Chain A
Amino acid sequence: MNWTWVAITLVVVALIGWYLSTTAGRLDRLHRRIETATFALDAQLLRRSSIAIELSVAGVLDPASSEVLAETAHDARLATDASLQVRVAIESALSEVLIQALDDPEEVALLRADPSMADLMDELSAAIRRVELSRRFLNDAVLACLRIRDNYFVKWFHLAGHTPLPQAWEMQDRTPEGLTYLGA
Chain B
Amino acid sequence: MSNEVLRIGMVCPYAWDSPGGVRSHVADLAFELRARGHYVDILAPVDDPSLLVHGEVTNGGKPVAIRYNGSVARLNFGLRATRQVRKWIQDNDFDLVHVHEPMAPGLSLLTLWVADGPIVSTWHSSMPRSRVLASMNRIVQTAMEKVSGRIAVSEDARQTLVKHLGGDAVLIPNGVRVKAFQAGERHPQFDGSVPSLLFFGRLEESRKGLSVFLDAVPAIIAKVPDVQIFIAGPGDVEEISKGLSESILARLIFLGRLTEEEKIQALHSADVYVAPNTGGESFGIVLIEAMAAGTAVLASDLPAFTRVLDGGVAGAMFKNGDSEDLAVQAIALLGDPERRNALQACGVQRVMRFDWEHVVEDVLAVYESVTVSGDRVTEDLRGQIIGRLSTGIPGLR
Contact = CB atoms under 8 A, between A and B. Distances in A.
The answer to whether A and B belong to the same complex is yes
Nearest to B383: A22
B148 A141 contact: yes
A184 B370 contact: no
B167 A139 contact: yes
B345 to A, nearest CB: 13
Contact of B369 (A25, A137, A182, A184): A137
A44 B370 CA distance: 12
A184 B358 contact: yes
A136 B168 contact: yes
Q: Give 7 closest A-B pairs by Cβ, nearest first.
A: A140-B167, A40-B372, A36-B373, A25-B382, A184-B353, A134-B369, A22-B383
A25 B148 contact: no
A147 B365 contact: no
Interface string A116-145: 000000000010011011101101110110
Given A22-B142, A26-B142, A36-B375, A133 B167 contact: no
Q: Is the interface of B mostly helix, strand, loop or mixed?
A: mixed
Nearest to A142: B167
A52 interface: no
B145 interface: yes
Contact of B166 (A25, A132, A147, A184): A147
B383 A25 contact: yes
Contacts of B2: 126
B375 A133 contact: no
20 contacts: A22-B382, A22-B383, A25-B383, A29-B382, A33-B148, A36-B375, A40-B369, A40-B370, A40-B372, A40-B373, A129-B362, A133-B366, A134-B369, A136-B170, A137-B150, A137-B369, A183-B349, A183-B353, A184-B353, A184-B358
Contacts of A126: 2, 361, 365
B331 interface: no
A67 B197 CA distance: 59
B116 interface: yes
A101 interface: no
A69 interface: no
Q: Name, among A26, A30, A133, A184, the residue most crowded by chain B CB atoms within 10 Å (CB to CB).
A: A133
B142 A133 contact: no
Interface of B: 2, 116, 118, 138, 142, 145-146, 148-150, 166-170, 349-350, 352-353, 358, 361-362, 365-366, 368-370, 372-373, 375, 382-383
Contacts of A35: 373
Interface residues of A, number: 32
A181 B148 contact: no
A43 B166 CA distance: 26
Contacts of A143: 166-167
Contacts of B149: 133, 137
B148 A36 contact: yes
Given A36-B118, A36-B375, 7 more contacts: A22-B383, A40-B369, A129-B365, A130-B368, A132-B170, A136-B168, A147-B166
Contacts of B373: 35-36, 39-40
A43 B361 CA distance: 18
Nearest to A24: B382
A181 B369 contact: no
B116 A29 contact: yes
A60 to B, nearest CB: 24
Contact of B358 (A39, A144, A181): A181
A140 B373 CA distance: 17
Interface string A21-63: 1100110011001011101100110000000000000000000
A130 B148 CA distance: 14
B152 to A, nearest CB: 11
B107 to A, nearest CB: 21
Nearest to A137: B149
Nearest to B368: A130
A182 B178 CA distance: 15
A141 B365 CA distance: 18
A130 B353 contact: no
